[in-house]
C-alpha cells in the first residue's frame, strides 16, 4: 500500500500528453487550450465616451457651448472640438479630437437650438482611454486553461475563432459484478442498481472527456478479459469498477496483467478508495476503481482527474476553498488518509454531512466537497481552518 502523495507522483510520472486539434470557437467550451491566446487589438481601440453626454474641453465648461455634431457609437467623429464647442456623444462612441471630457447629459441644460450649458457641480473626464483594458500582444488566456464562458469572451475579443485545444480523452467505462443491474431494472433481493457507470460517465463529460459505456460484465475471466481487450483498443483510458479487492471474484488486477498492462500500484492509503489500481500498456492506461460508489466517485476526483489533467495539459483543476470546520470531527482509526464529505453552511463554514461509509452514495447529493484528514490524525477541532475540495 502506498501513500496518496506517492500515488500522485506515480500518476504524474506515467502520463502521456494527448494530441492537439483545432476547433471552432463555438465548439470549444470546456476544452483545454494548447496555445497562448494574445490580443491583436487594443481595448478600448480608441478613446471613447463612458456615458451619454457632450464631449468638450474642460476649460470651456463654464461657458455656453455650441453643439457641432452628434456622434453615435460605431461612427467616426467628423469635426474636432474648438473653443466653446461640443459634440453630443453616445456611450461607447469615439471621442472627437480636441475634447478632454464628457459632461453627463443629466447635468446639461439646453438653452437654445444647438446650445447647451453645464449645470453640474464639477465635471469628471468620463472617458475610457485607448488600451486601458487590453493592449496589443497582451496574453488573455494561457495554454493549459480550461475554456469556460469567460474565456470564450476573451478568445472572441482576440479574434481566436479556431483555438488549438487538447483532443478529448477517450474513456471506456466497464462495470463488473454479478450483483449489479442496469438502472432501468428493479433489482431482485440480491442485486443492486449500477450507479457507478452513470456517475463516472457524468464525471468524464463534466471534465471534458469523451466517455463510452461498455456496460456490465459478469465476474468471469472470459467476460472481463474480453471487455478489457475491446476497451483497450478503443480508449485512451479505461475505468473498471469492482473486482479489484481481495475476494475470490476480484479478477481485475490479474486480467489487466494478462492484457499487457504494467501495474504501477494496487492499493492506496486513502479512505474510501484503498483498493485502487493504476496501470499502463504503452499509450493506454487503466484505473481499477473500488465497486462502492462513494469510493469510485472520490478516486475519480482525486486520482483519475490528476491523470486526465496531465494528459490534457490542464494547469489547474482542483477547486479549493479555505473555511472553518463547523463541528468537531473524530474518527476511530487514522491509518489512512480520510476524505470526508462536507457541505458549506450559510455562515461560510464546512459541516460534515451524514455519511455511513463508501456505499452511501446519496450522502454526496447534499455535499459540496470533501475535506482531507491526514494519516495519523484522528480528529479535527471545530473552528479549525480546512481545505474543502469542491465537487
Secondary structure (DSSP) of 326-371 = SS-EE-S--SSEEEEEEEE-TTS-EEEPP---TT-GGGGGG--EEE
* Contact indicator for 200, 239 with CB cutoff of 8 Å: yes
pLDDT tens sequence across 14-38 = 999 999 999 999 999 999 999 999 9
As given in the structure block, the three cell numbers for residue 303 are 486520482
CA separation for the pair 352, 344 (Å, rounded):
9
CA separation for the pair 151, 147 (Å, rounded):
5
Mean pLDDT of the chain: 95
* Contact indicator for 265, 2 with CB cutoff of 8 Å: yes
* pLDDT tier at 246, thresholds 50, 70, 90: low
End-to-end Cα spacing for the chain: 26
Percent above pLDDT 90 for the chain: 95
295 CB-near residues (< 8 Å, 6+ apart): 272, 273, 289, 358
Give the three-state DSSP class for 187: coil
CA separation for the pair 388, 365 (Å, rounded):
16
Q: Assign 3-class secondary structure to 363-380.
A: HHHHCCEEEEECCCCCEE
Q: State residue 38 phi and psi, 5-degree precision.
A: -115, 155
206 CB-near residues (< 8 Å, 6+ apart): none
* pLDDT tier at 146, thresholds 50, 70, 90: very high
CA separation for the pair 81, 66 (Å, rounded):
10
Domain boundaries, the chain: 4-17+167-312, 21-42+144-162, 48-128, 320-390
CATH architecture of the domain formed by 320-390: Beta Barrel (2.40)
pLDDT tens sequence across 192-226 = 999 999 999 999 999 999 999 999 999 999 999 99
The answer regarding whether domain 48-128 maps to CATH 2.170.190.11 reads yes
Q: Which residue has the cell 489500481?
A: 277
* Contact indicator for 256, 280 with CB cutoff of 8 Å: no
CA separation for the pair 350, 390 (Å, rounded):
11
The sign of the torsion formed by the CA atoms of 217, 222, 228, 230 equals negative
Percent above pLDDT 70 for the chain: 99
CATH fold for domain 4-17+167-312: Molybdenum Cofactor Biosythetic Enzyme; Chain A (3.40.980)
CA separation for the pair 188, 183 (Å, rounded):
12
As given in the structure block, the three cell numbers for residue 83 are 473653443
Amino acid at each position: 500500500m502506498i501513500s496518496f502523495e506517492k500515488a500522485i507522483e506515480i500518476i504524474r510520472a506515467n502520463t502521456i500528453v494527448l494530441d492537439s486539434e483545432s476547433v471552432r470557437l463555438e465548439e470549444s467550451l470546456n476544452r483545454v487550450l494548447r496555445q497562448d491566446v494574445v490580443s491583436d487589438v487594443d481595448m478600448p481601440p480608441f478613446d471613447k465616451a463612458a456615458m451619454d453626454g457632450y464631449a468638450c474641453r474642460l476649460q470651456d465648461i463654464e461657458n455656453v457651448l455650441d453643439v457641432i455634431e452628434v456622434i453615435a457609437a460605431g461612427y467616426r467623429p467628423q469635426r474636432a472640438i474648438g473653443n466653446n464647442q461640443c459634440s453630443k456623444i453616445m456611450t461607447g462612441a469615439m471621442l472627437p479630437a480636441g475634447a478632454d471630457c464628457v459632461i453627463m447629459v443629466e447635468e446639461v441644460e439646453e438653452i437654445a437650438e444647438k446650445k447647451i450649458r453645464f449645470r453640474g457641480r464639477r465635471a469628471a473626464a468620463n472617458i475610457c482611454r485607448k488600451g486601458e483594458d487590453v493592449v496589443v500582444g497582451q496574453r488573455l488566456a494561457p495554454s493549459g486553461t480550461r475554456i469556460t464562458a469567460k474565456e470564450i469572451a476573451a478568445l472572441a475579443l482576440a479574434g481566436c475563432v479556431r483555438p488549438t485545444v487538447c483532443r478529448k480523452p477517450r474513456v471506456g467505462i466497464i462495470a463488473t459484478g454479478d450483483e449489479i443491474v442496469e438502472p432501468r431494472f428493479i433489482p431482485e433481493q440480491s442485486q443492486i442498481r449500477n450507479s457507478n457507470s452513470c456517475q463516472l460517465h457524468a464525471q468524464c463529460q463534466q471534465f471534458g472527456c469523451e466517455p463510452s459505456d461498455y456496460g456490465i460484465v459478469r465476474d468471469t475471466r472470459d467476460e472481463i478479459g474480453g471487455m478489457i481487450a475491446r476497451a483497450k483498443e478503443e480508449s485512451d483510458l479505461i475505468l473498471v469498477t469492482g473486482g479489484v479487492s481481495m475476494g475470490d471474484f476480484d479478477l481485475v488486477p490479474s486480467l489487466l496483467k494478462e492484457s499487457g498492462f504494467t501495474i504501477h500500484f494496487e492499493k492506496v492509503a486513502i479512505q474510501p478508495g484503498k483498493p485502487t489500481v493504476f496501470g499502463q500498456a504503452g499509450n493506454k492506461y487503466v484505473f481499477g476503481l473500488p465497486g462502492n460508489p462513494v469510493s469510485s466517485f472520490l478516486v475519480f476526483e482525486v486520482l483519475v482527474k490528476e491523470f486526465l489533467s496531465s494528459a490534457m495539459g490542464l494547469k489547474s483543476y482542483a477547486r479549493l476553498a479555505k473555511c472553518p470546520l463547523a463541528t468537531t470531527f473524530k474518527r476511530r482509526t487514522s491509518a489512512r488518509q480520510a476524505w470526508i464529505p462536507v457541505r458549506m453552511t450559510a455562515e461560510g463554514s464546512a459541516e460534515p454531512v451524514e455519511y455511513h461509509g463508501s456505499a452511501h452514495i446519496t450522502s454526496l447529493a447534499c455535499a459540496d466537497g470533501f475535506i482531507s484528514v491526514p494519516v495519523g490524525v484522528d480528529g479535527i477541532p471545530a473552528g479549525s481552518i480546512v481545505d474543502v475540495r469542491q465537487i
